[in-house]
Amino acid sequence: MRITEVKALEVDMDALNPGRRRRREGAPRPSYVWDGLEPSGPMGRYPKYKERRSSWSAKWKTTVCVATAEDGRFGLGVSSFAGPVCRIINDHFGPHLVGESCMATEKIFDMMSRLASPYGSQGLASYAISAVDLALWDLKGKVLERPVYELLGGPQKERIFCYATGFEAAWYMELGFRAVKLPFPYGPADGEAGLRKAEELVAGARELIGPDAALMLDCWMALDVDYTVRLAERLRPYRLRWIEDYLLPEDREGFAQVRQRLPWQTLATGEHWYLPQRFAQAANERAVDIWQPDPLWVGGVSACVRICHIAEGAGVEVIPHGGMNSPFGQHLAFAMPAVTWGERSGGVSPPGVPLAEMVSLPGTAVIEDGYLVPSDAPGFGIEVDRALLASL
């Protein structure tokens, strides 16, 4: 079965689920604000951008890639930053992939990585590779009439343990989660006051969720080496399961320094590492304990499978970034032994709103009482038809 078209679309995610869009009109939105601040980030050093991460983040829409076979069946993949990413897919990758076998996901992943090499296969090109790769795995599953997790070797676990990321810890516990990750709204510019407020945030969450639930902290590239160390030492009494994404992703020496100064603290990163090569380097450096590749950014399922195998050889856990937000990470986590937990991020849901009402892609499995089992429908089980895609 040959590929006849690979096309990328710029869409708002709610357009793929009109029912959800209608339900959300006028409904409360998940809160991602604490103490008047959004989660911090690398631009937090500049006062103009400190309070609102959204004030400087790119406003591009979502990338939706559709890969079509000669019999008319199609697969669907998703990534971010549609403005430049759709151009890469439509102008460069797509024309070279027409005529290739729908089954040749390994070959096509390699082709795209090499096609992008003149302008860099990591970063924006990696987002494009992800969207195409996910669409092809979805298509392959539909052609073979098997869920993607079976194509990856079958279920490795009975269900996936899930944690929630956001500030509404009490609501997440009510939903059945037993692990919560807090976004971090401060940074080095906040000095000692930021550390004090961070302790108030974490202490309050620990009191809400109790002594036995897991608690984590996501710093989203906002810190430096010294502030990371000071923060971890201050929060040590609250037994954080891990501290995550504390440095800029390129700061390899910084990761090594933090590891040396915090041998007792579990450290996690990787959502902004792209393609398997960086993870192979990390396996040798031994600077972090948990890798967090995003299937929608890192190079799709093909990249994630490689990363999981590297992790097993290095004795590293894999917990994909936002893995439970979509069926792509759900199928990966279900099949890969290296993946231990699943993350539900993006604010999870506002208090009182069921998780089922927060599904973006129709057909996505929903977390129940802190666990998830993916759909067993062919491909990723996404329920989006041609008529809807044609209307976008």
Torsions phi, psi of 67, nearest 5? -110, 125
Residue owning tokens 């810890």: 169
Structure tokens at 108: 């096509």
- 164: Cβ–Cβ under 8 A, 6 or more apart, which residues? 172, 175, 177, 179, 180, 181, 344, 345, 348
Q: At what angle do helices 225-235 and 252-261 cross, to 10 degrees?
A: 30
Q: How many C-beta neighbours within 10 Å does residue 178 have?
A: 18
- Total length of the chain: 392
**3-145 belongs to which homologous superfamily?**
Enolase-like, N-terminal domain (3.30.390.10)
Could you read off the pLDDT of 197-244 as tens digits, one per residue?
A: 999 999 999 999 999 999 999 999 999 999 999 999 999 999 999 999
pLDDT in tens, the chain (392 residues): 999 999 999 999 888 887 765 555 555 666 677 877 788 899 999 999 988 888 999 999 999 999 999 999 999 999 999 999 999 999 999 999 999 999 999 999 999 999 999 999 999 999 999 999 999 999 999 999 999 999 999 999 999 999 999 999 999 999 999 999 999 999 999 999 999 999 999 999 999 999 999 999 999 999 999 999 999 999 999 999 999 999 999 999 999 999 999 999 999 999 999 999 999 999 999 999 999 999 999 999 999 999 999 999 999 999 999 999 999 999 999 999 999 999 999 879 999 999 998 988 999 999 999 999 999 999 999 999 888 888 88
Task: Calculate the CA dihedral of residues 22, 28, 30, 34 and round it to 10 degrees.
Answer: 160
Task: State the pLDDT at residue 104.
Answer: 99
Which residue reads 């990371």 in tokens? Answer: 228
State the number of CA atoms in the 13 A half-sphere of 293 facing the CB: 39
Structure tokens at 88: 């890469």
Q: What is the C-alpha to C-alpha distance for residues 107 and 110, in angstroms, rounded to an integer?
A: 5
Determine the Cα–Cα distance for residues 75 and 90; give it in Å rounded to an integer.
Answer: 16
Decide: 162 and 343 in contact? Cβ < 8 Å: yes
Determine the Cα–Cα distance for residues 125 and 297; give it in Å rounded to an integer: 9
Give residue 20's pLDDT.
Answer: 65
pTM: 0.96
Q: Which two tokens stand for residue 311?
A: 């992790």
Predicted confidence at residue 53, as pLDDT, reads 86
Task: Kindly give, in sequence order, each residue whose CB lies less than 8 Å from that of residue 175, ignoring residues fewer than 6 positions away.
Answer: 164, 348, 349, 355, 367, 370
**Which residues of 130-277 form beta strands (DSSP E)?**
160-165, 179-183, 214-218, 242-244, 267-269
Catalytic machinery residues:
321
Q: Does the fold of domain 151-372 match that of domain 3-145?
A: no
52: which 2 tokens? Answer: 């609102």
φ/ψ of residue 179, rounded to 5 = -155, 135
pLDDT in tens, 2-34: 999 999 999 998 888 877 655 555 556 666 778
Listed by start position, the domains of the chain span: 3-145, 151-372
Residue the block writes with tokens 């993006």: 346
> Considering the domain 151-372 in this protein, what is its CATH number?
3.20.20.120
Q: What are residue 3's phi and psi, to 5 degrees? A: -80, 130
For the stretch 107-136, pLDDT in tens is: 999 999 999 999 999 999 999 999 999 999
Question: What pLDDT does residue 29 have?
Answer: 62
